[in-house]
Structure 1
């Protein structure tokens, strides 16, 4: 490996911490939020269900980059409350990513719940289980097993999408790679950045494969 590539790798790795932090925060927030939205989508209250449907439609129907720009540049201009909606670049990125991916996870979880046979609920009721016990001990384990491949795929997409935050100058992997390419007039930095993403996704894939084995009942 040439000294130039080693130097590029070292400089680009300066953004790895930010990339992983954004990834982790977005994932930790969006998964439970997505499940909450799934429950709202299944609510018998029409207003609650309608709010969830509109949320999912808007967040899935518009580009993540647009949502990122709106959170960072647009929210401060909302009359009356705009002054309370001013976020730092990284904070805005976390908010936009968490809200966006929650909508996708909500649809994944909804599909997982629909895959569970109604007989499971009826059998749980016969056994005297409460609704909460049925959800926790019967429904959720099966839903996790069914949705894990889709969640794995969405998680891989998430780590790649973190590159979008370079558009608002968040110092992550692509921010440093782009800076190196502009500085040196050499695309090698993009290749190095791509290799870093591939390594990250390799470990994500391994983790989810292990989870799939543990949930294969």
Structure 2
């Protein structure tokens, strides 16, 4: 009973950490998806310069650890210029995670766009539609249906990777758990913390599963 009372007492703090974890993930993935559309289109651009810049961006953020990117945004930028200092841990994490997510999602979006029958590009050209009209009205709406499964996977991965923000003292689930463990000298706090991660992951997995079942072409 004493153990149960301890766990119950820790729940409010862990839920506060969960709020930060979920909010960061939602914000970062949303911003990352928005950025990834431009990166994906840039990678398919006829301009070698634009294509090269987008390729370099994706290569860099996919090829370096997210933790190092987070450290650089929070600790490295101020050394380049004091004006680049970000004192807010949530904002620093949001920037790093959004940039990282944008790189990964751009590959997902590019693959989805390229999976659309090329005949639809030709048909839209015959109808006198511009490249941007074709993308906005024909290609992207169809691509969205193909994006649900891989974007769902990326979201879950980002949700779990959010635990890295504890290393810059942002009070997410992991940071709160470590603080409780340090102050109480009890590692039992990891039990409700892991269960909380499982519950959150399960809920979002269910959401994406329902979206996939309703809209995805992979039925």
TM-score normalised to the size of structure 2? 0.91
- The answer to whether the 8 Å contact 2:16/2:172 transfers is yes
Cα separation, 2, equivalents of 1:54 and 1:179: 39
Q: Could you say which residue in structure 2 is the equivalent of 1:146?
A: 146
* Stretches of structure 1 lacking an aligned partner (at least 5 in a row): none
The aligned counterpart of 2:7 is 5
Deviation at 1:128, TM superposition (A): 4.2
Report the CA distance between 1:150 and its aligned residue: 0.5
- Alpha-carbon distance in 2 for matches of 1:109, 1:201: 23
1:73-111 CA distances to partner (integer Å, 9 max, x unpaired)?
000111xxx121110211111110000110000111111
Q: Does 1:83 align with 2:85?
A: no
Q: Helix, strand or coil for the counterpart of 1:44?
A: coil
| Number of the residue aligned with 1:203 | 203
Q: Distance in 1 between matches of 2:192 and 2:84?
A: 36
Gaps of 5+ in 2: none
Return the alpha-carbon distance in structure 1 between the equivalents of residues 9 and 164 of structure 2.
24
Structure 1 runs of 4+ aligned residues shifted over 4 Å read none
Please tell me the root mean square deviation across aligned C-alpha atoms, in Å. 1.6
Number of equivalences: 214
Give the counterpart of 2:55 among 49, 53, 56. 53
Could you tell me whether the CA contact under 8 Å between 2:146 and 2:216 is conserved in 1? Answer: no
Deviations 1:110-130 (A, max 9, x none): 111121121121123334444
The equivalences for 1:157-172 within 5 A come to 157-172=157-172
Alignment match, 2:182 = 182
Scaled by the length of structure 1, the TM-score of the pair is 0.92
